[in-house]
Each structure stands twice: as C-alpha cells, then as structure tokens.
C-alpha cells in the first residue's frame, strides 16, 4: 500500500485526511509523485486543482519531494499547502 496524507486546507477541501492505494490502484512500474498526482486528479476537478497548484508541497517518507521523486509500495506521501510562520 501507498499511504497518501492531506493536511490543513487540503484535508478540508478534499474531505479526507488519508487514503491508501494498492498496486491495483496505480501503476508502480514507474511511479513518481507526478504519476500519483495524475492518478488522483482523475477523481475530479477539485482534486486536479489542489494537486496542480504551483504552491502545493509534497513529502515522501517525510522528506520534501519533487514531481520526479519515485514512489514505491510502503511509502507515505503527504500533500500540504505552503506553511508560513510569524
């Protein structure tokens, strides 16, 4: 399984904090963050808009990740909006 987490306003917008994907849900032969985003975007326009936003941050196994970062079974992928402090 691949665990996908959504934080902050993304959790609220998408109506879920966590989904689990199996090998049957996504092609793992060349799975990357970009491929995962494309697969999740098929769930509808809101999913596409959230995942395509330029400022959406992603982490794989708690390390910041880019679109070309590979994903494997057992990984945890998190999507979250930019974080600011003050």
| 27-63 confidence digits (pLDDT tens) | 777 899 999 999 999 999 999 999 999 899 999 999 9
Supply the pLDDT for residue 82. 86
CA angle 22, 54, 26 (to 5 degrees): 15
- In the structure, what pLDDT confidence band is assigned to residue 23 with cuts at 50, 70 and 90? confident
Q: How far apart are CA 25 and CA 34, in angstroms?
A: 15
CATH topology of domain 2-80: Ubiquitin-like (UB roll) (3.10.20)
| pLDDT for residue 79 is more than 80 | yes
Least Cα distance to 47 among 74, 75, 19 occurs for 19
Residue ranges of domains in the chain = 2-80
């Amino acid at each position: 399984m691949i665990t996908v987490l959504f934080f902050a306003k993304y959790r609220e917008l998408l109506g879920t904090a966590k989904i689990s994907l199996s090998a049957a849900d996504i092609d793992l032969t060349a799975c990357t963050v970009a491929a995962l985003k494309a697969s999740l975007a098929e769930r509808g326009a809101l999913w596409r808009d959230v995942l395509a936003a330029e400022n959406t941050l992603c982490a794989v196994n708690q390390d910041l990740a880019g679109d070309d970062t590979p994903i494997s079974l057992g990984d945890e992928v998190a999507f979250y909006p930019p974080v600011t402090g003050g």
